[in-house]
């Protein structure tokens, strides 16, 4: 149990404190303030621009079998809205995600946990924008654990670690989650919401208002969504970087790896979402 309200923000120290552990056990998530410094966030944003430029030149649609989400952005060019395996292609991002300050987060997941630079979807960077043609203005209700089923595994307890690269208050959409929903059992995890299709606000949800550089950790069984911004265009940009910490056998992906099943579902849904807007053939997957 914890006496703290679900909107409480912690400082990341050398270890996870008993208070932080109790908060995570109870609510299913933790929010740490100012974990990345402003120049580190700038560095990640620069690396993203470089990766986008390289992949656009190569005409890349997938990395290690995982689709890149090309959509429309503020300019004329197609705009990359989901970067997979970013740390495998950027030395500076790789060095950052392996920094010793994340040790308490890593050991929270397991004494032998590792950053999955080459596994699952790698270190993913999401770039949301609200404008016509955006393939990623929002993300419907889901738990991250159920994705494991597509990897033909029962969902294990897993924690999802996200670095927030923009200031984002409720008016800009952002992360909404239902505190304590991680402990409601398998039935609720499967059927409480219509996976990825439902976007409706829940009376029990809270908005995770973030500042640039904040870190959140959420239990993979927790129900969450990303709300659409009430702003339009450039002012609605929201960027997040998710770092997979994995345990168990090492299962690296390569360019010959197949596309995970849930990405076919996602591609269909993005097409549906952007059906009225088809400016170029090379959008989507
Ligand atoms: O962008 C976010 O904060 C959440 C993204 C998310 O839930 C996901 O990719 O599974
Ligand atoms: Fe998620």
Choices 2.60.40.1930, 2.30.38.10, 2.60.120.620, 1.10.287.3510: CATH for 26-248+259-273:
2.60.120.620
Return the domain boundaries, the chain.
26-248+259-273
Decide: 84 in ligand 1 pocket, CB within 6 A.
Answer: no
Residues 15-69 have pLDDT tens digits of 999 999 999 999 999 999 999 999 999 999 999 999 999 999 999 999 999 999 9
The strand ranges marked E within the chain are: 29-32, 62-63, 66-67, 69-72, 78-83, 114-115, 124-130, 139-142, 159-164, 174-177, 206-207, 215-219, 224-227, 233-246
Query: Dihedral sign, CA of 182, 218, 112, 190?
Result: positive
Residues 201-213 have pLDDT tens digits of 999 999 999 999 9
Rounded to whole angstroms, the Cα distance separating 151 from 144 reads 12
The answer to whether the CB of 212 falls within 8 A of the CB of 165 is yes
CB-count burial class (<10 Å; 0-12, 13-18, 19+) for 262: middle
Q: Token pair of 146, please?
A: 């159920």
CB atoms within 10 A of CB 17: 13
pLDDT bracket for residue 283 (50, 70, 90):
very low
* Candidate from 126, 167, 263 with most ligand 1 atoms within 8 A of CB, to mutate: 126
CB-count burial class (<10 Å; 0-12, 13-18, 19+) for 225: buried
Residue 237 has pLDDT above 90, yes or no: yes
Rounded to whole angstroms, the Cα distance separating 258 from 278 reads 27
Rounded to whole angstroms, the Cα distance separating 269 from 175 reads 20
The answer to whether the CB of 127 falls within 8 A of the CB of 239 is yes
Q: Ligand 2 centroid to 160 CA: how many Å?
A: 8
Residues 6+ apart with CB under 8 A from 160: 144, 217, 218, 219, 220, 242, 244
- Report H helices in 59-195: 86-89, 91-97, 103-109, 147-150, 185-191
Mean model confidence pLDDT for the chain: 91
DSSP state of 182: G
User: Residue 10: which H helix or E strand, with range?
Assistant: none
Has this prediction a pTM greater than 0.75? yes
Q: Ligand 2 centroid to 9 CA: how many Å?
A: 20
Decide: 144 in ligand 1 pocket, CB within 6 A.
Answer: yes
pLDDT over 90 for what percent of the chain? 76
pLDDT bracket for residue 275 (50, 70, 90):
low
Decide: 126 in ligand 1 pocket, CB within 6 A.
Answer: yes
């Amino acid at each position: 149990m914890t006496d703290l309200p679900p909107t409480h923000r912690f400082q990341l120290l050398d270890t996870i404190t008993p208070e932080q552990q109790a908060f995570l056990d109870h609510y299913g998530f933790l929010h740490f303030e100012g974990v990345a410094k402003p120049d580190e966030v700038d560095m990640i944003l620069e690396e993203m621009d470089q990766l986008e430029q390289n992949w656009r030149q190569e005409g890349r649609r997938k990395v290690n079998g995982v689709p890149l989400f090309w959509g429309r952005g503020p300019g004329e060019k197609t705009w990359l809205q989901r970067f997979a395996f970013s740390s495998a292609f950027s030395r500076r991002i790789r060095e950052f995600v392996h920094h010793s300050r994340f040790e308490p987060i890593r050991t929270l997941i397991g004494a032998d946990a590792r950053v999955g630079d080459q596994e699952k979807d790698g270190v993913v960077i999401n770039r949301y924008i609200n404008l016509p043609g955006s393939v990623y203005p929002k993300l419907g209700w889901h738990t991250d654990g159920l994705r494991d089923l597509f990897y033909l595994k029962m969902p294990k307890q897993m924690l999802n670690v996200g670095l927030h690269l923009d200031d984002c208050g409720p008016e800009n959409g952002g992360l909404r989650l239902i505190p304590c929903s991680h402990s409601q059992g398998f039935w609720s995890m499967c059927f409480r919401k219509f996976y990825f299709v439902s976007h409706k606000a829940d009376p029990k949800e809270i908005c995770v208002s973030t500042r640039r550089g904040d870190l959140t950790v959420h239990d993979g069984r927790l129900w969450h969504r990303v709300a659409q911004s009430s702003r339009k265009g450039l002012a609605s940009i929201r960027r997040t970087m998710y770092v997979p910490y994995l345990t168990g056998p090492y299962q690296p992906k390569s360019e010959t790896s197949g596309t995970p099943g849930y990405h076919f579902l996602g591609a269909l849904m993005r097409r549906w979402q952007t059906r009225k807007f088809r400016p170029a053939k090379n959008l989507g997957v």
